[in-house]
Structure 1
Amino acid sequence: MKWLAVLGMSLCLALINPSYADSDGHRFPMDLDDLGLTQQQLRSIEDAMKEYQQAYRRYHHQSEKTQQDINGLFLAPTFDAESFRAKNMEMERMSIEIRVRLFERLHTILTPEQKRRFIHHMKEWEIE
């Protein structure tokens, strides 16, 4: 779950400082400078990232509560596999939905050529 926070902060840093790279031009993860974003696109992506961060904060808060429920299920005298599975799937679905909304926003912001270049970033954005 901490990876989402790192992902959000890394992207924000990369977007705020487009020259975020080594002196030899090596690109840091989440640096979208190679997409050639316009100022309007940059603002739109920053807005999308703010929404993403707010959603992630809500997700993190909910995940702490759900983790307590999961812990309780594990500590129970009998193991309720179905409830355990359901709680874990709920958290996965929430995480995926947050990511889908972010990518949906990015899809509407980027041009076809930028989308083509962005797919090379997709590996960096994968949920681990």
Structure 2
Amino acid sequence: MTKLKIFVVLCSIFLSLSLFADKYEYNGTHTYKNLDYLNLDKHQYEKIKEILIDYRKAYAKYYKEKQKEEEKLQELMRKEKFDKHEYKDIVEEIYEDAISLEAKTLKKIHAILTQEQRVKFSYYLQEWRVE
């Protein structure tokens, strides 16, 4: 019974949030990093496809570098004395690389989209964050 009440409350919250959504309504289903809702023309589609291929390659390179940096953090933690400044530098490097990759990709996508498509795209911007 308690589980049912929790489920009803969660459903109510979800429905109420969807009622207060901004102007943009998308009536289809949306999957992660799917751009079908933008109704891209053939030229836009080809350009976005190239961008995403480049992004995948750059992300693979970023991920390998991130793993190396994470190993440095682990080594730092194993040392007898913790170096706060070195830790901070390594973590900042990871985040700067992620932000750089994210910004480059989004700038390229932004240049291809129309104003209306940019508005729609902005609702799913969080999906494009590099982690």
TM-score band by shorter chain is 0.7 to 0.9
Residues in 2 aligned to 1:124 and 1:54: alpha-carbon distance in whole angstroms: 18
Aligned-residue offset at 1:66: 1.0
Which protein is bigger by CA-based radius of gyration? 2
Which residue in 1 is equivalent to 2:15? none
Which residue in 1 is equivalent to 2:75? 72
CA RMSD of aligned residues (A): 1.6
SS at match of 1:37: coil
**Structure 2 unmatched runs, 5+:** 1-26
Q: TM-score with structure 2 length normalisation?
A: 0.73
- Determine if contact 2:73/2:87 at 8 Å carries over to the other structure: yes
Which residue in 1 is equivalent to 2:86? 83
Q: TM-score with structure 1 length normalisation?
A: 0.75
Which residue in 2 is equivalent to 1:51? 54
Aligned-residue offset at 1:25: 3.6
Residues in 1 aligned to 2:68 and 2:126: alpha-carbon distance in whole angstroms: 30
Q: How does 1:97-112 map to 2 (within 5 A)?
A: 97-112=100-115
**Structure 1 unmatched runs, 5+:** 1-23
- 1:60-117: per-residue Cα shift (whole Å, max 9, x none)? 1111211111111111110000000110110011011111011000011101111111
Which residue in 2 is equivalent to 1:9? none
Residues in 2 aligned to 1:48 and 1:85: alpha-carbon distance in whole angstroms: 32
SS at match of 2:123: coil
SS at match of 1:79: coil
Aligned residues: 105
Percentage identity across paired residues of the two chains = 26
- Determine if contact 2:73/2:90 at 8 Å carries over to the other structure: yes
**Corresponding residue to 1:120 among 123, 128, 131:** 123
